[in-house]
Chains A and B, each alone.
Chain A
Amino acid sequence: MVLEIEDLVVRYKTGGWAGALRSKSQRHVEVLAGVGLELNSGRTLGVVGESGSGKTTLARAVVGLAPIAAGVVRVDGMRASGWGDGPWRFIRRKVGFMFQDPLASLDPRMDVATLVTEPFVIHRTQGIDRRREAARLLDLVGLPARFLDRYPYQLSGGQARRVSVARALALKPKLVIADEPTAGLDLSIQGDVLNLMTDLQAELGMSYLLITHNLTVARHVADEIAVMYLGRIVETGPTDAVYRLPAHPYTRALLGARGGGERVVLEGEPPSLSPRPHGCEFHARCPIAKPRCQTEPPAEQVIAPRHRVLCHFPLIQPQAAGTA
């Protein structure tokens, strides 16, 4: 198991000292309200959701870049929680991170050779010929060696993205987190990055945690899918199963929007996060909501061995208890 997340809660403080004088519930914004997932070696898990779903926060939490209030992150067996730096250093060594804006994630004062080999320096890898490693990494992502001496401002969006892939791969990570790898790219070159990632996975065997709002890409690239809404995973399962027969009404609406499924137009907007709504977060916009949804938070139900949904009235009958 490359990645395990249990009951992860992430809270951000809001406001200054004036906020502290307000009620306790308004002092924090709970961006992740208890998230759990698993990712096996060599597989790709797609985390899909809209803005405000918490998917980017989840990605950052895996490497300790979000304030974890509760829950556990386990990478390759090493467990980390809260703020202590120790276990995070180990985890960060094992995880490659690709940021959504590749140019912004490259220090403008460093050239490409320095950038892609920075992980070696941070983790004090001995006996490394830095420049040779940099050339090797660029070759891995299909960039010619003349890019070694270029600076970020001299790179196009696609080239910067390749550099960020190269850097993520420096220490041969077990897990690569890709935050919106196709954002901002023209349709005709989106395939370049995705094909590169697929090829690298076949060659090096790492797992991907793919964060995206692009459902059509996720469908093709991810083995499993986790759908997020307002800080919770509302449905998770094998991609094919979820796309063909979504169990959660939000998933169905989302797929109808861009996934080519039937059209269900959702009314309204996601509710405010502070304070969090009682009951099911989705009840206000849910086409099949019942009174119970407003007061009681739903429990996780099992549809099929790896297909789970968080809903009182899932669209597919859950398996009877005992056959999970």
Chain B
Amino acid sequence: MTGVSPAPEIRAAPAWLKRAAGLARAVLAGTMGKVSAASVGLMLILAVSAGIIAPYDPIAIAPMDRLEGPSLSHPLGTDQLGRDLLSRVFEGTRTVMEVVVAGIGGALAIGLTMGLVAGFGPRLLASALMLVSDVVMSLPMMLFALAMTAMLGGGLETVVFVVIAFMVPAYFRVARGQTLTLKGADYVAAARAMGASPLRIITRHLLPNMAGPLLVLIAMDVPTVIGIESGLSFLGQGAQPPTPTWGSILRDGFAFIRQAPHIVLAGGLPILIATVGFTFFSEALRDALDPRLVGKKARPK
């Protein structure tokens, strides 16, 4: 821009878009970032397009073709009921992602609200929330999950409930910690001094500055949720037949591991790729966010 003439200029791109682009660039800078982002991207694409690109109906039974190994017509083979494993894996990706989104989304919404309340609200309420959160965090996850499924019956809804219940404390703690820290920041005081309403302070000043740590937490939690869902499905408490998820495919494969080991692979491989991919992705994300918060460019004197 030259000078201060108020002639109409091209408006600069919105701030959040610039930041997102910068973040993407930082994450994709390293090899790990590229590879993990690729696998994450693949998962997401599959999740969205499963219904369209799956070659077969994932729950269609074809007893004639049962327990076939990988072939041209069935790249991952078929399971004990003749269902195409590739299609089941695609559909499973969608299901898992649904659980992830519902679970983490729910945990985030509840935990964030609780965190803001604890950060701003009366001390007594904050202490009570902390107490509840600590109790939930101390419960052993699998036992808690199994207890829940015993009480509420199996099924993916129960899994989502378990995930939310299990993960809320972490989001609560991060949100609360960030709220307390940022509450005392000078720029929050500056906003108040300018007359900003509490709502504006939360939406324009607190949430954007909390986004970083929360984003990293989300990315790191995805493998955990995949693990919970797969584990519960493997134990028969999660996805109920015929709903395919990687865990239930694994369960099916386990029974036929001698005759048809490819089923176990079909179930296990996606879990491995997804878990490792998301873990590395979250680390790349965390690294990309950290120095940016401090400011990489040296300050001119």
Contact = CB atoms under 8 A, between A and B. Distances in A.
Q: Do chains A and B touch in the complex (CB under 8 A)?
A: yes
Interface in B166-205: 185-187, 189-197, 200, 204-205
A93 B195 contact: yes
B187 A105 contact: yes
Contacts of B12: 111, 113, 148-149
A89 B195 contact: yes
Given A107-B205, A146-B1, A92 B187 contact: no
Contacts of B200: 122
B195 A99 contact: no
B209 interface: yes
Given A145-B3, A154-B297, A156-B301, A108 B209 contact: yes
A92 B193 contact: yes
A114 B13 CA distance: 13
Contacts of B186: 99, 101, 104-105
A109 interface: yes
Given A97-B193, A104-B185, A145 B4 contact: yes
Contacts of B123: 16-17
A118 interface: yes
Interface string A54-79: 00000010011100000000000000
Interface string A266-282: 00000000000000000
- Chain A, interface residues (CB within 8 Å), range: 35 or more
Contacts of A138: 4
Interface residues of B, number: 35
A40 to B, nearest CB: 22
B86 to A, nearest CB: 44
Contacts of A109: 15, 19, 208-209
B6 A154 contact: no
B294 A153 contact: yes
A131 interface: yes
Contact of A63 (B1, B185, B193, B204): B193
A30 to B, nearest CB: 21
B294 A132 contact: no
Q: Determine which residue in A16, A88, A108, A167 has the highest number of CB atoms from chain B within 10 A of its CB, and name it.
A: A108
Contacts of B295: 151, 153-154
Interface in A225-260: none
Contacts of B300: 156
Contacts of A139: 4
A92 B191 CA distance: 10
A63 B192 CA distance: 9
A97 B194 contact: yes
A318 to B, nearest CB: 37
A261 interface: no
Contact of A136 (B4, B197, B209): B4
A49 B9 CA distance: 48
B6 A132 contact: yes
Contact of B15 (A63, A97, A114, A157): A114
Contacts of A118: 191, 194, 196
B195 A105 contact: no
B194 A135 contact: no
B299 to A, nearest CB: 6
A56 to B, nearest CB: 11
B135 to A, nearest CB: 21
Contacts of A17: 123
A108 B4 CA distance: 24
A118 B190 CA distance: 11
A146 B4 CA distance: 9
A119 interface: yes
B297 A92 contact: no
Contact of A122 (B11, B194, B294): B194
B69 to A, nearest CB: 54
A88 B187 contact: no
Contacts of B299: 153-157
Interface string A141-163: 00011101101011111000000
A110 interface: yes
Contact of A123 (B1, B195, B293): B195
A60 B190 CA distance: 10
Contact of A107 (B192, B209, B294): B209
29 contacts: A60-B189, A63-B193, A65-B193, A89-B195, A95-B193, A97-B190, A97-B193, A97-B194, A99-B186, A99-B189, A104-B185, A105-B189, A107-B209, A109-B19, A110-B15, A111-B15, A114-B15, A122-B191, A122-B194, A122-B196, A136-B6, A138-B4, A145-B1, A153-B295, A153-B297, A154-B297, A156-B301, A157-B299, A167-B190
Interface of A: 16-17, 60, 63-65, 88-89, 92-93, 95, 97, 99, 101, 104-111, 113-114, 118-119, 122-123, 129, 131-132, 135-136, 138-139, 144-146, 148-149, 151, 153-157, 167
Interface of B: 1-4, 6, 9, 11-12, 15, 19, 123, 185-187, 189-197, 200, 204-205, 208-209, 293-295, 297, 299-301
